[in-house]
Chain A
Amino acid sequence: MDLNSLLDHTVDGLTKGSIYALVALGYTLVYGVLKLINFAHSEVFMVGIWSVLGVYTALGITGASGFGALAVALVLGSVAAVLASAGTALAIERIAYRPLRKKNAPALIYLITSIGCSLVLVETFGFVLRQFFGPPFGRALVSIPTVISYDTLFTIGDVKISNIQVIIIVSALVMMIALDQFVNRSRLGRGVRAVAQDPDTAALMGVNKDRIIMLVFVLGGAMAGVAALLHTLRFGAAKFDIGFLIGVKAFTAAVLGGIGNLRGALVGGLLLGVAETFSSSLISSNWEDVTAFVVLIIILMFRPTGLLGESLGKARA
């Protein structure tokens, strides 16, 4: 493989991995604080995508709309996606997980509940909403208008870097750095780390445990909302089960980087994206998923705590 395709595939992989990393943040945050694997997070992502479609439809956006309209649509779409995803995550926490916390349910019950929530949301968009509203809900794939048309931004050697790729990678990095700084520098962030380390002691220290947990879900949801918007920029499609595979890959990325570790989610996501892209070009596109999971198994065999290992709750300087 020559240098050009190497660079090309790396950029492609980073683009794909950025979306995985953003969604992985949701998994890793919730796990770090609650020791719970939130399987419903993939549906939080899915709701974000549908809300973007909703905004575009409400504004009457098609691919041929004027530049101003598209810009407005993009901004409103991002806001809608973040709000919808954060709202869904919060709703799941209040409705599904909080009652379990109040009853000190064993971990297995949380797991089953999260899978149940995931199924409920998937079927809501795939079946229930169709009964009330008809199309576009349902099992078929729905097209989302292209708001940013493809354009080569610059070239490195022979490799064309497109505007969409740059937007995705830069946005994802910015969001992740923002989140990282928030968790490590701000007062609320300190609360998050405290609850992750020891919830009861944190409560003794004056941290409102319930509020922090809600915050964690909202943050994870917001990241998923941004990921949803970036995903629609790249793929322009909404489907009732679109969250499933992204969710599984993102969870894999979170584990790969060290579950409970924010920077691990970033590293894991990017690494997974690059690994997938390389394998699909070296072998064949349908080997993509296999490679993703083989990579996970190999890393876990040699480093069971994931690449970056440490968790959210460990005391760091």
Chain B
Amino acid sequence: MRRNTRLGLGAAAISIALAVSACGTTDDGDDDKAGGGGGGDCSGTIGLMGALSGSNASVVTPSRDGAKLAVKQFLAENEDCDITLTEFDTEGDPAKATPLANQIATNEDFIGIIGGAFSGETRAMKPIFQEAGVVMISQSATATDLTQVDQVDVFHRVVGYDDVQGAAIANYLEGSGATKVFVVDDSTTYGEPLATKVKSDLGDLVVDSDKTQEGQTDFAAVVSKIESAAPDAVFYAGYAAEAGPFLKQLRDAGVEAEFVGGDGLYGSDFPTAAGPNSEGAVVTCPCLPADQAEGNFAEDFEAEYGTAPGAYAAEGYDAANIFLQGFKEGNNTREKMLDWVNNYTGSGITKDYEFDENGDVALDKVVIWAYEIKDGALTPKEELSAE
């Protein structure tokens, strides 16, 4: 008898708890919706999708902040406009990005997307947004196939792609006098093609290569392979989450070779995770150093957020501004905005924009920079060329 009553009470308690939690909102989207679109001509909502939390967040949050700054400055100057920027945290994972993309695609309020931030999730989102006609402008998805192989009408990006980045990296390594280069990639659909491009451009300079995996923390095997190959330089194509411990273990094992990484490493977490022996490590990025951007972007960013702009901050600003100017011209539906972006010509703070038929910026406008770790932070080193 007593047991039945207890069971009954327990079941009631559980069902109440479940009902209450089901009524709560999910914490997938950080909704800053302040009323949403609806008003006059200059109104609408854009979404921003990327890894806003997790180990790779520092690669994406600067561009989110840049975009937010652009929206804030725009709304200050154009008070009759009602634009909202809604953030969606995908953690950089295509599996998490897909349901969020579906959510956005079916919500008619969303006119455009800034994103995805990473190539893998962008690949997953493209077909969903193409079907719904939601225009995408990515600030950092650099995988070449996104525009060169699987071209869709809605996808655009404000940065160069990995074939160009890879060529620039190869030029840099050759120019640095390296005669033996060890190439490591992280087996993702971003890292692998980048590493392949670098390997093919370096040709005989590649002494050996290896692969790591996402989420890997123990790099002893790769490190020991590198030790036996004794290269002058190590190139890593992957993300900051793995690169940090990898570089740390590499230096802890006494390997002095120059370390070069692709743009997936450009996050403020990378130097911290890599430890004090990471000084001098180089990270390349198809992004302009913020202090080279037009106007007062770097000062405004620092005034707003208290830190210097990081990876792709200025590109995020530019991507947002393309949308904002579109809204100003009254493009408040998906078709009109898509048309606007497709035919857009104008100047952002990092470069002049005119998207080609694949959604890329003109090749001669692409910038690739090398950044190096100095005093525990990534600072601009030199501009690279892909020729």
Identify the A interface with B (CB < 8 A): 5, 8-9, 12, 15-16, 62-64, 139-143, 145-146, 149-150, 152, 162, 164, 234-237, 239, 242, 245, 276-277, 280-281, 284-286, 288
Q: Mark B193-224, 1 if CB is under 8 A from A, else 0.
A: 00000000000000000111100111111101
Task: Check A288/B276 contact, CB under 8 A, given A143-B248, A235-B249, A237-B248.
Answer: no
- A294 CB, min distance to chain B CBs, angstroms: 16
Chain A residues near B275: list those with CB within 8 A.
Answer: 63, 143, 145-146, 236
The digit string for B211-245, where 1 denotes a CB below 8 A from any CB of A, is: 11100111111101100100000000000010011
B182 to chain A, nearest CB (A): 12
Q: Nearest CB to that of B209 among chain A residues? A: A284
- Is A285 a contact partner of B211 (Cβ separation < 8 A)? yes
Q: Sorted from nearest, which 6 A-B pairs have the closest CB atoms? A: A280-B221, A285-B221, A140-B55, A63-B276, A139-B54, A143-B273
With an 8 Å Cβ cutoff, the count of chain B residues facing the other chain is: 34
B137 at the interface (CB under 8 A from A): no
Q: Are A237 and B55 in contact (CB under 8 A)?
A: no
Please give, as numbers and ranges, the residues of chain B lying within 8 Å of A245 by CB-CB distance: 217
Interface residues in B260-311 by Cβ distance below 8 A to A read 269, 272-277
Residues of B within 8 A of A (CB): 53-55, 57, 187, 210-213, 216-222, 224-225, 228, 241, 244-245, 248-249, 252-254, 269, 272-277
- Give 13 A-B pairs besides A143-B248, A280-B221 with Cβ atoms closer than 8 angstroms: A16-B218, A139-B53, A139-B55, A140-B57, A141-B55, A141-B244, A142-B273, A146-B248, A235-B248, A277-B221, A281-B224, A285-B211, A285-B219
Is there an interface contact between A16 and B220, defined as CB atoms closer than 8 Å?
Answer: yes
Chain A residues in 8 Å Cβ range of B241 = 140-141
Does the CB pair A235–B245 fall under 8 Å? yes
User: How many whole Å from B96's CB to the nearest CB in chain A?
Assistant: 13
Q: Are B276 and A62 in contact (CB under 8 A)?
A: yes
**Which residue on B lies nearest to A152, using beta carbons?**
B254
12 contacting pairs across A/B (C-beta < 8 A) = A8-B228, A9-B224, A16-B220, A139-B53, A146-B275, A149-B252, A235-B217, A235-B249, A236-B248, A237-B273, A285-B216, A285-B222
Kindly list chain B residues whose C-beta atoms are within 8 Å of the C-beta of A8.
Answer: 224, 228
- The one of B211, B224, B225, B248 in contact with A286, judged by C-beta atoms closer than 8 angstroms, is B211
Residue of B213, B217, B225 touching A141 (CB-CB under 8 A)? B217
Least CB distance from B190 to A in Å reads 16
List chain B residues, Cβ under 8 A from A288: 221
Q: What B residues does A149 contact at CB under 8 A? A: 252
Is there contact, CB below 8 Å, between A236 and B252? yes
Q: Give the distance in Å from the alpha carbon of A286 to the alpha carbon of B220 in the complex.
A: 12
B187 touches A141 (CB 8 A): no
Smallest Cβ distance from B269 to chain A, in angstroms? Answer: 6
Query: Which residues of A lie under 8 Å from residue B252 when comparing CB positions?
Result: 146, 149-150, 164, 236
* B90 → A minimal CB distance (Å): 13
**A162 — which chain B residues lie within 8 A by C-beta?**
253-254
Contact B221 A143 (CB under 8 A): no
Q: How far is the CA of A73 from the CA of B144 in the complex (A)?
A: 48
Of all chain A residues, the one with the shortest Cβ separation from B58 is: A140
Docked-complex contact B273 and A284, CB < 8 angstroms: no
